[in-house]
Amino acid sequence: MNRIVTSIIGAVVALGLLTLGFSIVTVDEREAALVLQFGNPQESLTEPGLHFKTPFIQNVKYFDSRVLDFDDDARTYVTSDKKNLIIDSYAKWRITDPLQFYITVQNTLSAKSRLGDLIRSNLREEIGKRNLQQTVSGERRQVMENLSKNVNRQAQKLGVQVLDVRIKRTDLPQENEQAVYDRMAAEREREAREYRAEGAEQAEEIMAKADRQREEIMAEARRKAELTKGKADAKATQLYNQAYKLDEDFFALYRSLQSYEKAFQGQELMILSPESEFFRFFRQSEAVK
């Protein structure tokens, strides 16, 4: 009798432990869980730790709650000025509402497909509002900010939060690259011609100004030289007059000697009359002898 009671108690304890084991749900901090009853979602479990469910009739589906990547393929978009651009984008996202996520998309693969549709649709709209220059450089940051905000707002219906959407690369189609490069080269050449013309004009202005300053400096130098020369000539004349008054005969002799030096310099033969006034001091010296 005791054996039967012991067996029954053991069976009850085992059944209780088994029931308790099937009732406990462990949620890791990297996960979120969804309680299903006969395939129908009942409850979202987003807090890590131990949770409970009805054993045997309820089961648990786990989802990754970490930040996930979505890397879209490069696709062609058209700008407002009808230019084709090949744009490669990616997004960071995570599951925030497992219940809504399971109802709308059920799994990560389907979620990525829906996210891709949302990103491409919003990106096409943003690119269509801007021309090539604005898309590539002028408003690139604004495009990504608008894209992240709009896609996140729409993705909340899927139980998903989109943290960021970025444009990795923007390229031109192969057939358009050469035309764009040629246009850029022509634009740079035009700017270079303008810069060279402006430089030549400035150079001419500088040279003209320098020539004008040189002429002014030279004129001022000539004026000062003439003034100095005039003062020197006046001083010399004054000295000559003073010397002449001191001894008129000696001054006349001195002036004659200067004339002789200039007249005879470089001359091998001269024919002059000895009675000429030019030789009067020679005649005086002979009279003295």
Buried b (16+ CB within 10 A) or exposed e, 143-182: bbebbbebbbebbeebbbebeebebeebebeeeeeeeeee
Confidence of residue 289 (pLDDT cuts 50, 70, 90): very low
Check whether 19 has a pLDDT greater than 60: no
Q: Are residues 73 and 55 in the same domain?
A: no
Other C-beta atoms lying within 10 Å of the C-beta of residue 115: 23
Q: Are residues 170 and 81 in the same domain?
A: yes
Task: Please report whether residue 136 resides in a domain.
Answer: yes
Check whether 82 has a pLDDT greater than 60: yes
Number of domains present in the structure of the chain: 3
**Orientation of helix 248-264 relative to helix 280-288, angle to 10°:** 120
More confident residue, 26 or 204: 204
Task: Please report whether residue 127 resides in a domain.
Answer: yes
pLDDT value of position 117: 93
pLDDT value of position 17: 53
Instruction: Give residue 103's identity as a one-letter amino acid code.
Output: I
Confidence of residue 288 (pLDDT cuts 50, 70, 90): very low
pLDDT value of position 92: 94
**How far, in Å, are 50, 271, 280 from residue 274 at the CA level?**
150, 9, 8
Confidence of residue 153 (pLDDT cuts 50, 70, 90): very high
Average pLDDT along the chain: 80
Last residue of a domain, one of 63, 81, 108: 63
Q: CA Rg, the chain, in Å?
A: 55
Task: Please report whether residue 9 resides in a domain.
Answer: yes
Q: Is the pTM of this model over 0.85?
A: no
Q: Are residues 43 and 78 in the same domain?
A: no
Q: What percent of the chain clears pLDDT 70, i.e. is strictly above it?
A: 76
pLDDT value of position 70: 92
Q: Are residues 260 and 247 in the same domain?
A: yes
Range of the domain at 31: 2-63
**Of 70, 168, 165, residue with least CA distance to 122:** 165
Average pLDDT over residues 115-122: 93
Task: Please report whether residue 162 resides in a domain.
Answer: yes
